[in-house]
Structures are given as C-alpha cells and as structure tokens.
Amino acid sequence: MDGIVVNWRRFLLPGITLLVAALIVWHSGNETEEDLPVEDSPSNGTAPYTPPAFEAVPEDENDNDSAMEEQSFLRENGTDIVVRFSDAAELAAFRRAWEEAHPGTSRPIGQLKALRIQLDSPSALRRLLDNLPQDADTSPNLPVQLPRGPDFDDITATDYQPFTQGLRHWLGATDQVENWGRGITVAVLDTGIADLPGNQAFRQIDLLAETPDARNLSPHGRAVALLLAGEEGLAPASDLLSIRVLDGKGQGDVFTVAEGIVRAADEGAKIINLSLGSSRDHPVLQDAVNYATARGSLLVAAAGNEGRDGLPFPAAYPEVFSVTAIDAERQQANFANRGSIDLAAPGVGVAIPWSEDQFLQMNGTSAASPIVAGAAAALLSEFPNLTPRQAAEVLRQNADDAGPTGPDDRWGQGVISMERSLQHRQQGVHDPAIADIYLHPQPNAEGNYQASITVQNRGTEWSGGLTIWVNDGQKDHSFTINSLDVGESRGLTIPIDAKRVQSEHGVTLKALLESPTGLRDDRPDNNEKAVQFHIEVPE
C-alpha cells in the first residue's frame, strides 16, 4: 500500500520511511448492510425465466469430461464468481432458487443486475453453469488492493522535496477554508476509519462480512479521509461517508468495490474517492462507474504506484478522474504510473495532522487522489451551480502546465492550482508565467538533447508581447510570444549538447519572462525558473 509514516514530533523529518503501526479504535455505530433491492423489469415478451430446483448432484455422477471442465474453470476463475444478468427478474428468480440449496453463498447488487456467488464444490459449479439463463455471463471476482507502496530506498531528500507542512498554501488555497465542502456529501471507499477530528458530519457503512478488529484496521482509510475532509483538508465542512470495502491488509475484491460505488451514489455522494485499484478490468466495476456517473457523482481515483505504463482500474476508465503524485518541486514521483492521467497533486511526504502532537507523513498516489477530491468538493460549495463533472473540468482547465508542453502521460493536464480554480470566473487577472523547463529524455538524430521551456497564461485575460530569455550556461536565447490566450501554453525549444548534459556537473537552464511596459503582471514571482539537468551514461 502507499507509504505512511507517523512521526512523534511536531515537525517532520525530510526523510520518508514506512508507517509505524498504530492502534485505532473502531467507532461504534456502523450501519448494517442488507441485501440491495432487485427491481422488477419487463421480460420483452419472452417467457419468464424459471430456474429448476438446485438438487444435490452426487460427486460420483459427474462424468470425467464434466469434472475436467469444472476443475479447469475453477483453476482459472477460482470459487468466487460474479454473474451478470440482462434482466432483474431473472436475477431474483435465480437467486431465490440458489439460496434454497446454498444459503448464504450469494450477494446481489440489484441496481447492476449482478450476483456474487461463492462456490464450495465442483458440483455446485456444475449446477450454476447448467441453470443460468443463456444470456447471463460469468467472470471471476478479481482482487482489489491499495496501491503498492513506493520503493522508499529510491525516495530521498536529494531526489524529491516532501510537502512537510503548508500544503494548503502550496496549493494556493486561502486561509478562510472552514466552510469549504459544506452541504456536499463525499464518499471515501477504503479500509474504514475510526474517527475524523473536526468533522462531525461523518457516517460509516461496512460492506465486509467480518466484524472489524481495531487491531487490524489499516490507517490508510483514515489518512485518506483526513486529506479530503479533515481539519487540514480542502473540504473540512463536507459530509463524509466512509464505506469500508478493504480489510485491514488493504485487500478486497471488485464486486465489493462496485457495491460501495453504488451505495455511495445512492447515498447522494457528489464526490467518490477511490485510492485503490485492480490490475484487470471487470465488467461489474465498469457498470458501477457508469451507474454512479449517470447519477451525477464524480469518481476520483489514484493512478497507482508501480511505476509502469498503464493505470489500474478504476483510474483507467475515461469516466474516472485519475490523479498522479508529484513532490513539492512539481516533479512526478518515479513510483507513479503513467497513462491517461487527468491531474497531478501532492503525493510525496504529505504531512497530515494525525493527533494533537503527531503528524502523519504519507507517500503515494493515494494521497494525491483525496486532495483532488477535496478540491472538487470545495469548488462545489463555493460555486453551487457547478456539477461535479464541471468542477473537475475547472480543476483541469486551471492546472499549471508541467513537464513537456501540454497534456502528457505523466502530469496529465498539469498540477492542481486551487488559486486559479477559485479565480476562474474573476476577470482582470494578468498572469503570464514560466511554467516549466523540461529535458526530453532521449537525444535526437544528431545526438543532441532538446529542452522545452513552457510559457503559460495563468490569468483570466489575454496576454502577449512577451519576451523570454533562456540561458544555457554558455549563451542566451531569446524568444517572443506575440499572443497567448487564457490558459494557453506555448513551448519553446533549444538544443543541448549531449556531452554537456552527461558531464559531471550537467547543465543548468535559466528562464526569465518579461512583459511589455504597461501590461500588468499580478504574479511576477512565477516569471523565473532554473533547473539543473544531468544524465548519467551507463558504464
């Protein structure tokens, strides 16, 4: 799971280590989960489905071919099966008959016309397959887990700058945030939480069968909830709904997560945070995402920490807002996955007040996701006419470009900026900026590297007549940008000799932006940037 560290001092050390296990007392008053209703639906003029009685099939009556087929299916799919029906009435009829023979082995999500069946023998599998409606489909219930923790040996203070304190200030949030999220229900699907200091409007639903054990309760869910809706979160006044879908080890399954998504949407959650994932797609998870999206919920999910190309599910779905992790210098963390990223947010050494005299330090995309979810909830409370999807678009359109110019598979649309998002309707903001300096990792055909200097209009008014000076340590380069629309980014490139980049001290690039006389600049502090680049050559 994501790295979590609890420090026993008020001020955090810059080093990042694994979480010291903490005892958390489970809050009494969990809601009990009952079977979800199965709504009747028309049968389109066909004869109603009537499953036969599920009588026991003696093991010795199974022919060899059937037994081999069953064993093969069990090896491939396990004994935990998800069945999706095309008709809700068929689901209800099948489940009634199945439960008579196998009580307590099935669980429905009526809204998705899906049924989870936990088999106990090959003969039970044979009865299942023989008596399903022809248009029903079966699939294994896949595992879901917290994002695997980053390799802490590769995360040092010299490589990354942690967000030790002042997260809200870094994000550009104002000091008057106590009402952010008011009237907005936000759901956290995670390992459950015991309490949430400062947030009294807090409910829990437990979708796991076993009784929660305080000694085995992972702190992950509480950390995520604090980042979203705690005293130092971006939506401290929101109504938090904690839905427990993962156990104390941070493990679960797609069916339970899908059930949690449906429950969150039915409970009126405008924002649903999912700091979890499955390595494989599953139709019941996609159905749940579609269900919640159709009811107006915004799903925000962690991009994962495996450092690979491709996102886990549900972050990989286009309907889900996917979030990657960066450090305080806006570098994408090397453990974060790459792909269809929407936004980048703090995820290295993020400090969370854990108690009166403790800070928790969290690393991973699990920390970045609830920050974005909280920002969306804050926008909904500040701009009541926005829908959750529109709030996400405001965050995306007002992100600070990072990395190569424009959207990319590492930073997505850019780095979250609460200041710009809150000012998106405010006229008269002038803010041309040096957004980033980026060295493309591969040399061109001539053997030189290319550096991109990105200039972005972060204001709400047109900008132009800009002069950009770039010094590469040997000479100056100058560029002119005559016109830059609101939110637009423009990339300028210069070649860098490979020998210089690969030398012991590397190359330091410095960029300076100058606005024409008479054109106001409301944030002149972002007109300069310097970055050092060094590429090691393998021996």
Catalytic residues: 190, 220, 366
Contacts of 20 (CB under 8 A, 6+ apart): 5, 6
Structure tokens at 40: 């009747």
How far CA 330 is from CA of 35, 154, 299, in Å, comes to 46, 17, 24
Contacts of 199 (CB under 8 A, 6+ apart): 229, 230, 231, 236, 237, 238, 240
Sign of the Cα torsion 386, 387, 388, 392 reads negative
How far CA 523 is from CA of 109, 327, 457, 458, 483, in Å, comes to 51, 22, 11, 9, 18
Alpha-carbon gap, residue 59 to 394, rounded angstroms: 61
Contacts of 390 (CB under 8 A, 6+ apart): none
Alpha-carbon gap, residue 136 to 25, rounded angstroms: 43
| 62 φ/ψ sector (left φ>0, alpha ψ -120 to 50, else beta) | beta
Q: Are 520 and 499 in contact (CB under 8 A)?
A: no
Structure tokens at 143: 């595992």
Q: Starting from the edge strand earliest in sequence, which strands make up the sheet with 80-84, in order?
A: 106-109, 114-118, 80-84, 137-140
Alpha-carbon gap, residue 298 to 377, rounded angstroms: 10
Alpha-carbon gap, residue 229 to 273, rounded angstroms: 11
- Burial code (b: 16+ CB inside 10 Å, e: under 16) for 5-34 equals bbbeeeebeeebeebeeeebebbeebeebe
The phi, psi pair for 124, rounded to 5°, reads -65, -40
Alpha-carbon gap, residue 191 to 168, rounded angstroms: 25
Is beta strand 143-145 parallel, antiparallel or unpaired with respect to 251-253?
antiparallel
Alpha-carbon gap, residue 392 to 400, rounded angstroms: 14
Is beta strand 106-109 parallel, antiparallel or unpaired with respect to 114-118?
antiparallel
